[in-house]
Amino acid sequence: MSNTSSADLRKEVMVGVFAFSVVIGLFMFSIFVTGGHFWRKGQLIEVTFTDVMGLRKGDNVVTRGMTIGEVKNLDIVKGSGRIKVTCLLRKQLELKVDCSATVVPTSILGGRQLALSCGKGPELLVEGAVIEGQPPHDIMQEAEDVIREFRDTLKKGALDDLAATLKSAKEISDKINRGDGTLGMMVNDKSMYKDITAVAADLKAITSQIREGKGSLARLMNEDTVYNDLKTTLANAKDVSQRLADGKGALGKLMSADETIYSDLKISMANMKEVSQRLADGKGSLGKFLSADETIYNDAKGLLKEFRAAVDDYRESSPILTFTSIMFGAF
């Protein structure tokens, strides 16, 4: 009997130890989850909203992207149409008079949190003062509004544009059916169809002749002789251009980088310019002869006149001299 009592006692002790361990584990887990602030005193703040956009008890309170507390309670303020949100902050914050709070979504799929801004003004918020929250931004609602506006705009603008497009298309088809315009004439004029058919037939005949090797064009496209001649011509042209680039031959030397010929030609042109300038200035014998001064011309003209007079006198006196010489020669 005593053995049975001892066994039951050991079981009860083991159950008690297990239960105590579970309680300790839950306590430690709570401390871990709360970040070590389980027994610390926090700061209570109250914020009023016209719409909390689905904010719930236990949602996070964040500032500058960091979680600093949680929502403890939500109550409807009677007679004001507003909702009072009580938040517990894990640490004391210096809230300014211009501080603000708003409800923001945590993701596009759902979830809310209260974003708190401490403010930048010099004056601190009185302890216990109620913060007036900003209207929330509902992304889904804004997206729905944008889609609705787009749909309304599409209905108004697109339908009008579609109606105008259909009207224009109908007018164009009516003109084509009546034969108005170039396209209408092409569609309704049978002679143009015949001309197009004839042109197509001619093109077909030409391509057939080319495939069969008939005509000059076919020979150019099918015979290797023309290709070889063209290849040879290009090779010769390449050789000539290479010789010119290398400065070979008279033309190559003229086009080469060696400036000897260019310099000689430049000097010759300068000498010719100097000679022509001296002639123009009347310098030298030839220059004086070509100058505007007529003295030399007059002297030459007088000399030529005297020479002609002397020749004429010689002609007139030559018969007498000949007769006299004969007569005296006889004796």
Q: Taking the domains of the chain in order of start, what are their residue ranges? A: 36-137, 141-177, 259-317
Taking Cα atoms as reference points, which of 59, 54, 111 lies closest to residue 87?
A: 59
Rounded Cα distance between 51 and 28, Å, is 37
User: Is the model's pLDDT at 2 over the cut of 70?
Assistant: no
Q: Residue 33: is its pLDDT beyond 60?
A: no
* pLDDT value, residue 315: 64
Q: How far is CA 11 from CA 4, 16, 30, 48, in A?
A: 11, 9, 29, 55
Q: What percent of the chain has pLDDT over 90?
A: 14
pLDDT of the residue at 149: 80
pLDDT at 261: 67
Q: Tokens representing 175?
A: 């003109």
With 0-12 / 13-18 / 19 or more C-beta atoms within 10 angstroms meaning exposed / middle / buried, residue 112 is buried
Q: What is the pLDDT of residue 48?
A: 93
Angle subtended at Cα 274 by Cα 270 and Cα 276, rounded to the nearest 5 degrees: 115
Of 112, 56, 59, 118, which Cα lies nearest the Cα of 91? 118
Report the pLDDT value the prediction gives residue 175, as an integer from 0 to 100: 74
- Whether 46 contacts 85, CB under 8 Å: yes
Between 87 and 208, residue with greater pLDDT: 87
- Does residue 327 carry a pLDDT above 50? no
Asked whether residue 324 carries a pLDDT value surpassing 60, the answer given is no
Q: What is the pLDDT of residues 79-98, one digit of tens each?
A: 888 999 999 999 888 899 99
Compute the distance between CA of residue 34 and CA of residue 26 in angstroms, rounded to an integer. 12
Q: Give the whole-angstrom CA distance, residue 44 versus residue 88.
A: 5
pLDDT of residue 263: 73
d(CA 43, CA 91): 6
CB-CB neighbours of 133 under 10 Å: 25
For residues 147 and 43, give the distance between their C-alpha atoms in angstroms, rounded to a whole number: 42
Q: Residue 68's pLDDT is what?
A: 92
Confidence tier at 74 by pLDDT (50, 70, 90)? very high
- Where are the strands (E) in the chain, listed by range? 43-49, 60-63, 66-77, 82-89, 100-105, 112-117, 130-132
* Mean pLDDT, residues 91-111: 86
pLDDT digits (tens, 9 = 90+) for 236-273: 888 777 777 777 766 666 666 666 766 777 787 878 87
Q: Which helix (H) or strand (E) holds 79?
A: none
Global pTM value: 0.35
> What burial class does residue 100 get, using C-beta atoms within 10 Å of its C-beta: 0-12 exposed, 13-18 middle, 19+ buried?
middle
